[in-house]
Structure 1
Amino acid sequence: MGSGLGKFIKTLQLDTRLLGMIGAFLLIAIVFNIATGGTFLTPRNLFNLTLQTASVAVMATGMVFVIVTRNIDLSIGSIVGVVGMVMGLVQAFWLPEIVGFGSPVIVIVTVLVGIGLGMLIGGLQGWMIGYLMIPSFIVTLGGLLIWRGAAWWVTRGTTVSPLDPTFVKLGGASGTIGVTASWALALSGIVATIWFLIHTRRKHISHDFAVKPVWAEFALGGIMVAAIAGITAVINAYEVPTRVLQRRFERAGLEMPEGYTEAYGFPISVLIVIAVAIAMTIVARKTRFGRYVFAIGGNPDAAELSGINTRMMTVKVFVLMGGLAGVAAIIASARLASAGNDLGTLDELRVIAAAVIGGTALAGGVGTIYGAILGAFIMQSLVSGMGMVGVDAPFQNIIVGAVLILAVWVDIVYRRKTGEA
């Protein structure tokens, strides 16, 4: 039976590391679900897990590129903090005096300022690493201290609140798209998945590449379609509490119909993660920039001799990482509906752990976007589950640290056995 399953996985050309991570998540989920009396796997908790994971998942996609090029970024948590504080000032104090409270311009400008500032900081650090040849560990360790101090300095440690109501929806806690739009999105994803499988098969055949048996294509497509539909069904199963619906009807001067229910659907922050994941996957696999990133990680000297400007590529990678930190700051501050100078504290460790657990090699050259996102979800599930069963925070850190070390060791063993090391 074991050999049959192995043959089935090999025929479908499934990523065994991805299957291992899915298995690890299922094991964590089952254990915590039993320990919490069935609470962990409820639609409400899974919905909250996606909200809590979103900002780290966005940054983890950028950290893949950073680590693949044999660098590290310890400053991203502090960048989230300073960007969040600046965005708080922009939308709560500066712009309302110019365009008035509630103007749609506030959200647009705030988002552009946040992403732009993150890219500027990332570019500055990338320039020091690429052109001044200062090790990334030192530059970003200094950045961790500098930008955390700057986050406090922006408002002298005062928390900025409340934020613009429209901006707050980007965090997902109060911004969802509803059941109908969620199923429409899922249907679009299913159609895109089927098209991608058909297109890839035809392309391989046209180039005389080996292809999977037709039944394997149908099986793989069925698995992916079932996954999309299943995730959507779980998210749409989380209903808006009755008291919240009643207050909404009361504010509108209406009486809520008896038996009326409504579900949240996908949070906007999750849609941002999906968009970032798709964009970063395309960049990694289909663009010259992505090929250069992995070429540099595989062999920096050979990449430079082949004509790749490795110094400028380093700057670009850190600009991208800074921009994604800006996106994460948008999600994190919007979810909390406030901007405090402690925003993003320890996020750098969570993001690095997510990328490594997701299969990104610290030696460089190897990493996947989907692996990093799944790694972020596994990390958050572990932390959230321990919190639900009453594990003390210090012991949580011990367990998370041990899991990180175990994940790296497993990755090393895997690469030795598969000949990747």
Structure 2
Amino acid sequence: MTDASAPATSPRTGWKALDLDTRLLGMIGAFIVIAIAFDLASGGRFITPRNLFNLTIQTASVAIMATGMVFIIVTRHIDLSVGSVLATCSAVMAMTQTVIMPDWLGLGLNNPATAWVAIVFGIIAGAGIGAFHGYLVGYLTIPAFIVTLGGLLIWRNVAWYLTNGQTIGPLDDTFQLFGGINGTLGVTGSWIVGLIAAGAATWALFASRRNKIGHDFPVKPMWAEMTVIGIVVAGILGFVALLNAYEVPSRVLERRFEADGLTMPEGYTEGYGVPISIVLLILVAIVMTVIAKRTRFGRYIFATGGNPDAAELSGINTKMLTVKIFALMGVLCAISAVVASARLTNHSNDIGILDELRVIAAAVIGGTALKGGIGTIHGAIIGALIMQSLQSGMAMVGVDAPLQNIVVGSVLVLAVWIDIIYRKRTGARD
């Protein structure tokens, strides 16, 4: 006689008990393969602390926007204007720092308030543009493809007019801290943040386990839970150790000591640590993940993407939801503009060109279904990392730009094809 309350399936054993995301493992595996291949092709120059440090700061801007593109695509829309919106937000922030603050308010560059006022203005501009796009799509029912294609042309040239076509720089010193190499946590600060992150991840995993037990949901064996925690903690601390291993050039250290009227001790070294732009990306990823999984707004997004008609009949205001999603995308474009222009130390007319294609590709490679309803924030970030790894690796081994674009385009098509096969074999909904 069997117990009717017993689970219908037998408990998993071995590595299956870990219940790891096979899609996530596949993307991580793809990144590892790409890194090893380019390292061999470049004579060991790809997998180095310096190159991987540069790779992270180059990925940050696109990855931040890719998290927002997940929501856009999940709701069966598209945004072709993100690169141009980034340019407009960058222009607004650059003009705020170099014209509005000094000339209108009498506060010069590098005033303690300058960078923060500029960032607020940029975010307001991005949110306004995004909300306007959302209104056209949600309330006037103009297809998002057309609205954002128009936005691609409009906002790129609005940015040009805001700056009279000039490169604006250098930017505020505090503002430049968000760019990467000009702003890092240092070795000690990076270890502190890494340990805090490892502790937070451990707590989150145990809290999830307690929540499942409290609702009588099946959980992993304790050894499997501890193994997953060990993998996560090792990944976080290994990432910190890798970035800490990239040392500041001695000539830079010497100039720093000379500026303070000191002599640099013989044999003194110092690591860069984790870039502030990466900390910003991690914070964005956490917030977007919480929105997607823990809020009503997030549930409405995925419900609308899964079945728009059913969502509207169930009482979801899909029109206002569209406005909110595009406004959020605009905010993320502004944050990306901070990272991108700070890394360049100026605003230039070509900032963000082709970013719309990179962002969409990152989301799709990361597993976001173009038919809507399915997508993850961490997948989009790894997709952005894979895209940047391909471009950086090909540039390192001397592949010319046209062939780079051919390869990236081919990888995008291949990723979608693999995703289709994966969904058919696993029974996932298209």
Q: TM-score band, normalised by the shorter chain? A: over 0.9
Structure 1: 5+ residue stretches without partners: 1-5
Deviations 1:140-183 (A, max 9, x none): 00000001111111122111011111111111120011011100
* Alignment counterpart, residue 20 of structure 1, candidates 23, 26, 31: 26
Query: 1:48 maps to what in 2?
Result: 54
Q: What secondary structure is seen at the aligned counterpart in 1 of 2:80?
A: coil
Q: Which moved more, 1:292-301 or 1:194-203?
A: 194-203
Quick one: distance in 2 between partners of 1:101 and 1:319?
Answer: 29
**1:391 partner amino acid:** V
Q: Does 1:163 align with 2:171?
A: yes
Evaluate the alpha carbon distance shift between residue 92 and residue 42 of structure 1 in structure 2; reply closer, same or farther with a 3 A threshold: same
Q: Does 1:345 align with 2:353?
A: yes
* Alignment counterpart, residue 335 of structure 1, candidates 340, 343, 359: 343
Quick one: distance in 1 between partners of 2:108 and 2:146?
Answer: 43
**2:20 partner amino acid:** L
- The number of residues matched between the two structures is 416
Shift of 1:7: 5.8
**2:115 partner amino acid:** V
Query: 1:376 maps to what in 2?
Result: 384
* Alignment counterpart, residue 192 of structure 1, candidates 187, 191, 200: 200
Evaluate the alpha carbon distance shift between residue 111 and residue 12 of structure 1 in structure 2; reply closer, same or farther with a 3 A threshold: same
Evaluate the alpha carbon distance shift between residue 324 and residue 8 of structure 1 in structure 2; reply closer, same or farther with a 3 A threshold: farther
Evaluate the alpha carbon distance shift between residue 344 and residue 9 of structure 1 in structure 2; reply closer, same or farther with a 3 A threshold: farther
Query: 2:282 maps to what in 1?
Result: 274
Q: Does 1:70 align with 2:71?
A: no
Q: Which moved more, 1:392-401 or 1:160-169?
A: 160-169
Query: 1:228 maps to what in 2?
Result: 236
Quick one: distance in 2 between partners of 1:130 and 1:59?
Answer: 21
Quick one: distance in 2 between partners of 1:30 and 1:155?
Answer: 43
Shift of 1:250: 1.2
Deviations 1:390-410 (A, max 9, x none): 000000000000000000000
Q: What secondary structure is seen at the aligned counterpart in 2 of 1:95?
A: helix
Q: C-alpha root-mean-square deviation of aligned residues, in Å?
A: 1.0
Quick one: distance in 1 between partners of 2:69 and 2:15?
Answer: 29
Q: Which moved more, 1:409-418 or 1:192-201?
A: 192-201
Q: Does 1:238 align with 2:246?
A: yes
Quick one: distance in 2 between partners of 1:331 and 1:7?
Answer: 45
Shift of 1:9: 4.2
Quick one: distance in 2 between partners of 1:372 and 1:110?
Answer: 28
Shift of 1:257: 0.5
Query: 1:3 maps to what in 2?
Result: none
**1:311 partner amino acid:** K
Q: Does 1:323 align with 2:331?
A: yes
Quick one: distance in 1 between partners of 2:357 and 2:39?
Answer: 26
Quick one: distance in 1 between partners of 2:15 and 2:170?
Answer: 51
* Alignment counterpart, residue 190 of structure 2, candidates 179, 182, 193: 182
**1:271 partner amino acid:** V
Q: How does 1:1-400 map to 2 (within 5 A)?
A: 8-97=14-103, 98=105, 99-400=107-408
**1:330 partner amino acid:** V
**1:360 partner amino acid:** T
Shift of 1:101: 3.0
Evaluate the alpha carbon distance shift between residue 9 and residue 410 of structure 1 in structure 2; reply closer, same or farther with a 3 A threshold: farther
TM-score normalized by structure 1?
Answer: 0.98
Query: 2:6 maps to what in 1?
Result: none
Quick one: distance in 1 between partners of 2:13 and 2:398?
Answer: 42
Contact map agreement 1:82 1:341 (CA 8 A) in 2: no
Q: Which moved more, 1:244-253 or 1:381-390?
A: 244-253
Evaluate the alpha carbon distance shift between residue 57 and residue 8 of structure 1 in structure 2; reply closer, same or farther with a 3 A threshold: farther
Quick one: distance in 1 between partners of 2:325 and 2:396?
Answer: 37
Quick one: distance in 1 between partners of 2:353 and 2:242?
Answer: 30
Quick one: distance in 2 between partners of 1:220 and 1:68?
Answer: 28
Q: Which moved more, 1:146-155 or 1:8-17?
A: 8-17
The alignment-based identity, stated in percent, is 62
Deviations 1:88-144 (A, max 9, x none): 111012102322332111111100011110000000000000000000000000000
**1:16 partner amino acid:** T
**1:372 partner amino acid:** A
Structure 2: 5+ residue stretches without partners: 1-11
**2:423 partner amino acid:** R
Quick one: distance in 2 between partners of 1:78 and 1:401?
Answer: 21
